[in-house]
Structure 1
Amino acid sequence: MPPVTAGGLAWRGARREDAPVILATLNALAAADNDPFRWSLAEIEERLAASYRDLDNDYLLGFEGPGEGALRAFAEVDVSPGDATVARAILLGGVHPDRRGEGIGRELLAWQIARGRQKLAASALADAHVPAWFVVHMEDDGPKTLARTYERAGFVVRRYYSDLRRDLSVPVPPASTPDGTLRLVPWTPELDEPLRLARNDAFRDHWGSQPRTRETWAEYRTAFMPAWTFMVVDDAPDVDALLASPDTDDETAAALRAGEPLVVAYQIASKYVEDFEVRGFTFGYSDNVGVRRAYRGRGLAPVVMTAGMRAMADDGMQYAALDVDTANPTGAVGLYAALGYEKQHGSRMLLIEL
């Protein structure tokens, strides 16, 4: 591992009790870089509590001053246990605005890449002959110095995303009711596992998307809004046809044989209260929208989305918001435009492909 010596900081791994200082540092970075979001304490605590994250070795925290003073640099390397067709090391971190320009960021990124190589080499996919990526994200209008740091390290832009919003003071258009054996339902705990399976099926043909395991599915729930989350369930699916289809994954097949409910379309929503002040309005956020491949072309995405938008409006939200891959293969960009969504910001994914 390359040493991090710039800035004269004292370095160590993370501890769960570091969540408040990590939160303060990440939000200081977000404010300085004019990011349209802020982190919550619950989000940081959730990340530090994940059993598959090695706090001693996957994190590097740099403190200034005698003993452990103020946190001035932070790095995280995240390799998900659910990755199947691409092995990804996702890098998060940065240097506090008060200590930028000292070369700390370049050394910290070199440490992240080295740790990422270790993690990828030790992963379950190491011998699977699949692509391996280092991944970073940044806003389109993020600091040019940060973009140059990534470029010097070998990162290239591979994907663009649009941050969209829809004014909920404009009446939400009516959506057709699912026909036949299809039924629109709100989220319930009993449908959470069928929802996970639907998400994995819906996103299997999306660029770079990887399955969510039960463990990783349980994460990222600190802002989850069950009352805004809707699904379409097929009460009488053609089990034989689905089992015969090469598109049906093993977990879905097992659930069908066991007679479990089949979620075929969904909209998962969250409420990111910390972002309201930054963006200047209240909003409900659609974290994920999808339709199983066997059920596409039936107009199910507008059904779940309009149900979610109405629920957000009923709870007093001014806007509905979401992000979309500009090269989404399912026609989502056109769907969102037809529902009244308009672009507000943009972001990008940068990769080093091994």
Structure 2
Amino acid sequence: MFEGPLTWRPLTREDAQASADLLNAMETVDGLGENYTAQDTLQELIDPYTDLERASLAAFDGDVLVGFMKIQFKPPAEEVHRVFLDGGVHPGYRRRGVGTTLVEAGVTAAKAVHARHHPASRLAVDVHKAEQIAGVAELVRSQGFVPVRYFQRVEHPLGDALPAVVVPEGLVLEPWSPENAGDFLATRNAAYRDHWGAAPMTLDAWQNKITNHTFRPELSFLLRHGTGGAAAGVLVTLTWEGDVALTGIRDAHFMVIGTRREDRNRGVASALIAHALRGAAAEGYDRASANVDSSRPFGGAGLFERARFVAARRFVRWALEV
């Protein structure tokens, strides 16, 4: 247990700027290419499925936030309720027990949140961190977490090597509009139904995480069975202006890519990705990116390799089954 002169309390919505400052300080050492504005961190703090009062903890040195943890639960859960434990420690305060205190508090908070919302399900506490962050593996292993999944961030430089858009016969591309907005969420939930660890997104979660200030409707598309027919697949693009301001690189991040089970193996995702890549290039973006579950049974990694994405970094999903 850390016994230094720190002040400990739950996070609040008023900590948005302090949270952005901490995450940006961590970025200078961890080098993940993730830069935050206060608007970005506020979006996480107002997540409807993050209980800050009961399930967060922040460490302050004076007015400076130097470490935090927060729990995110899922509104629906079946056999297993996968709770996310997120957090970080300022580089200047690492190796001093702060991280251990936060992880221990996080596991305790996860149990309390789980008991409150899904007591009939089994609990798994998940930590998702880039493999390159020093000390993470040692810390979470010491608390009983084990690696259960691997993910890759893949990137496309949006040069001349853009894949051709080949739309499967009988399908039509359709951009986002206020009229079809509900179809985007419905198609995401249908497509992700058998993805590992996924759960249906509620409308308020979708609005908080997807259609917020980072959403790029002009680069978000459905592939539909004819005009007015059922959607076969979906792609949604986000962009973080904090990254643009600090790096000068405009990145079109394909946050949601999914194909309904009955439409798989027809080239739906390939067509959506190719169309979005060409759209991003035309809009002046420098790069496109996505996060890929390396263990997915639906050919995720191969799909992006064929579209000429390259691996940038790997993430590990650690889990503690309670």
* TM class, shorter-length: over 0.9
1:142 aligns with 2:149: no
For 1:341 and 1:321, the matched residues in 2 are separated by 8
**Does the 8 A contact of 1:6 with 1:107 survive in 2?**
no
Aligned equivalents of 1:325, 1:280: Cα separation in 2: 28
- Alignment partner of 1:314 is 2:293: no
Contact 1:25 1:72 in 2 (8 A): yes
SS at match of 2:138: helix
Q: Is residue 160 from structure 1 mapped to residue 150 from structure 2 by the alignment? A: yes
Q: 1:169 aligns with which of 137, 141, 159?
A: 159
Q: CA deviation at 1:289?
A: 0.8
User: Distance between the aligned counterparts of 2:308 and 2:88, measured in 1?
Assistant: 36
Is 1:18 the counterpart of 2:15 in the alignment? yes
CA–CA distance in structure 2, aligned partners of residues 98 and 63 of structure 1: 13
Task: Give the secondary structure class of the aligned counterpart of 2:156.
Answer: strand
Q: Could you tell me how far apart the structure 2 residues matched to 1:106 and 1:324 are?
A: 29
Give the Cα–Cα distance (whole angstroms) in 2 for the partners of residues 139 and 52 of structure 1. 23
CA distance in 2, matches of 1:333, 1:305: 13
State the partner residue of 1:275: 243
User: Separation in 1 of the partners of 2:167 and 2:89?
Assistant: 51
Structure 2 match to 1:232: 223
* Residue of 38, 42, 46 corresponding to 1:41: 38
Equivalent of residue 56 in structure 1, options 53, 56, 65: 53
Unaligned segments of structure 2, at least 5 residues: none
Alignment match, 2:312: 344
Q: Is the 8 A contact 1:11 1:62 kept in 2?
A: yes
Report if aligned partners of 1:165, 1:319 keep a CA contact under 8 Å in 2.
Answer: yes
* Letter paired with 2:128: H
- Report the alpha carbon displacement of residue 85 of structure 1 after superposing the two structures with TM: 4.4
Partner-residue secondary structure (3-state), 1:190: coil
Aligned to 1:80: 74
Q: Give the structure 1 partner of residue 93 of structure 2.
A: 99
**Contact 2:50–2:70 under 8 Å retained in 1:** no
Match of 1:189 among 154, 166, 178: 178
1:222 maps onto 2:219 in alignment: no
Residues 106-143 of structure 1: CA deviation (Å, up to 9, x unaligned):
111111110111111111x311xx44211111112110
**Residue deviations 1:202-222, cap 9 Å, x none?**
111111111111111111233
- 1:7–1:104 Cα contact (<8 Å) kept: no
Compute the displacement of 1:294 (Å): 1.3
Identity %: 27
Equivalent-residue separation in structure 1 for 2:2 and 2:107 (angstroms): 16
Task: Report how far residue 5 of structure 1 moved.
Answer: 5.3
TM-score, structure 2 as length reference: 0.92
- Structure 2 Cα separation of the partners of residues 261 and 288 of structure 1: 21
Structure 1 residue 110 corresponds to structure 2 residue 112: no
> Does the 8 Å contact 1:194/1:261 carry over to 2?
no
Tell me which of 249, 253, 264 is aligned to 1:296.
Answer: 264
Q: Which residue of 2 aligns with 1:248?
A: none
The alignment's TM-score, normalised by the length of structure 1, stands at 0.84
- Counterpart CA distance in 2 for 1:158 and 1:51 is 27
Residues 1:82 and 1:43: Cα distance change in structure 2 (over 3 Å): farther
List structure 1 runs of 4+ shifted beyond 6 angstroms. 277-280
Paired with 1:10 and 1:117, the residues of 2 have a C-alpha distance of: 24
Partner of 1:242: none
Matched, 1:126 2:116: no
Please tell me whether the aligned partners of residues 78 and 91 of structure 1 are also in contact (alpha carbons under 8 angstroms). yes
Match of 1:257 in 2: none
What is the one-letter code of the residue matched to 1:108? L
Q: Cα offset for 1:101?
A: 2.4
Give the Cα separation in 2 of the matches to 1:119 and 1:230: 36
Structure 2 CA distance for partners of 1:147 and 1:192, relative to 1, 3 Å: same
Matched residue of 2:179: which SS?
A: helix
Cα distance 1:50–1:321, how it changes in 2: closer, same or farther (>3 A)? closer
Q: Please point out which of 198, 206, 212 is paired with 2:195.
A: 206
How many angstroms apart in 1 are the aligned matches of 2:50 and 2:222? 31
When the two chains are superposed, the root-mean-square deviation of aligned CA atoms in Å is 2.0
Change (3 A) 1:104 1:171: closer
Is the 2:52–2:70 Cα contact (8 Å) retained in structure 1? no
User: What is the CA-CA distance between 1:274 and the residue it aligns to?
Assistant: 2.5
Report the 3-state secondary structure (helix = DSSP H, G, I; strand = E; otherwise coil) of the residue aligned with 2:237: strand
Q: Could you tell me which amino acid in structure 2 is paired with residue 101 of structure 1?
A: R
* Cα distance in 2 between the residues matched to 1:119 and 1:310: 43
* Residue identity in the other structure for 2:292: V
CA distance in 2, matches of 1:337, 1:51: 36
